[in-house]
Amino acid sequence: MRHLRLVPDVTTFDFFKHWRLWLGISVLAIVLAMVSFGVRGLNFGIDFRGGTTIRTQSAEPIDVAEYRAAMTTLGLGDVSITEIFDPNFGPDQNVASVRIQAQNEVEAVSQSTIEAVEAALMEVAPDIEFVSVESVGPKVSGELIQTAALAVALAIGTVLIYIWLRFEWQFAVGAVVALVHDVLLTIGVFSEVQLQFDLTTIAALLTIVGYSLNDTVVVFDRVRENLIKYKQRPLKEVLNLSINETLSRTIMTSLTTLLALFALFALGGDVIRGFVFAMIWGIFVGTYSSIFVASALLLKFGVKRDWSKPEVDKEARKKSGGASV
């Protein structure tokens, strides 16, 4: 019986032929991401901006201009109206999201204001239904931003300590720089395409940190084993060998995860679309950074070659016919 193989059993790709170029590309990408963040900012969701989001549904097609014109007389300031498209919606399901930002430090838009908005929209679409109303105050949203940033920082800091204790400081630096690289590029992409950035996106960032770390640790484990096994080989050869040996696992894991994520992105609806998009992007950038950032930095910093590992020595003694104690 023949098994499907996306990657040959033995590969000899030279991942470090242009490692300085890859690091330069990563640095440039981070700079561009930060410029985009500084110029365009993030499209914060209601979780972080505060205010009220009203989700509507009607059988009639949505005319965003008419919706906005109907609400101009209410004096609510900046109101965001977005038509939501989803392949799961039927022909008579026309869904829109009306977002009203909190104003003047008011904890949430008052009930009377919500009723006035609903009455104004009913004049445009008499059959309109108000599916849900969500409110978040400015104070709560500010605390959420601080807590989210702290969560990401603590996750990366914990990774630094974990890798440092398990391996060496060179491994820890490479792994943490790769994680920061992934997080910053994800923020940059959200800034550039202006996808909604909310609490689910923070969950996606933490998941990306975990996924990227797992991929990096798998490669680093193999690197450490091969450094013990091939003590006379140059570090560049050992790194290339280790990545080639784990390449099949990396590609299969990434592809199977992407299959599920693409299905969720196409059919999961708009509620989780930002989360899924961040995860898809994170799979690509996390796999890239494990090889071309974390491992490349390990090559740059170097690493000691005098570890001892009883399991490897025992295996060597068995092969040489010696007895183990």
DSSP labels for 112-130? HHHHHHHHHHHHH-TT-EE
pLDDT of residue 62: 82
Q: Per the confidence metrics, is the pTM higher than 0.85?
A: no
> DSSP code of 9?
S
Quick one: which of 74, 65, 69, 64 has its CA closest to 96?
64
pLDDT at 32: 93
Tell me: the pLDDT tens digits for 67-106?
888 887 777 766 777 777 777 777 778 888 887 776 555 5
pLDDT value of position 323: 39
Which amino acid type is present at position 225? E
Cβ atoms of 283 and 254 within 8 Å: the answer is: yes
Going by C-beta distance under 8 Å and a sequence separation of 6 or more, which residues neighbour residue 241? 226, 230, 233
Going through 102-177 in order, the beta strands assigned E by DSSP cover: 129-136
pLDDT value of residue 237: 87
Q: What's the distance, Cα to Cα, between the start and end of the chain in Å?
A: 41
Strands 94-101 and 129-136 turn out to be: unpaired
All domains of the chain, ordered by start, with CATH?
19-43+140-313 (1.20.1640.10), 51-136 (3.30.70.3220)
Q: DSSP letters of 180-224?
A: HHHHHHHHHHHHHHT-EE-HHHHHHHHHHHHHHHHHHHHHHHHHH
Low pLDDT (below 70) residues in the chain: 1-9, 46-47, 77-78, 102-109, 136-142, 269-271, 304-325
Q: CA–CA separation, 97 vs 84, rounded Å? A: 7
Is 267:34 a contact under the CB 8 Å cutoff?
no
CA 260/CA 266 separation, integer angstroms: 10
Pair type for strands 79-84 and 43-44: unpaired
